[in-house]
Amino acid sequence: MGTGDKIRDKAEVLKGKVKEAAGRAVGDPVLEAEGQGDQVKGHLKQAGKQVKDAVKDVFDK
Question: Residues 6-54: pLDDT tens digits?
Answer: 899 999 999 999 999 999 999 999 999 999 999 999 999 999 988 988 8
Amino acid occupying residue 2:
G
Task: Report how far residue 36's alpha carbon sits from residue 18's, in angstroms, rounded to the nearest whole number.
Answer: 10
Residue 36 contacts residue 44 (beta carbons within 8 Å): no
Residue 3: predicted pLDDT: 85
At residue 1, the pLDDT reads 57
Q: What is the pLDDT of residue 5?
A: 85
**Model pTM score:** 0.81
* Domain boundaries, given as residue ranges, for the chain: 3-60
Q: Compute φ and ψ for 21, nearest 5 degrees.
A: -65, -40
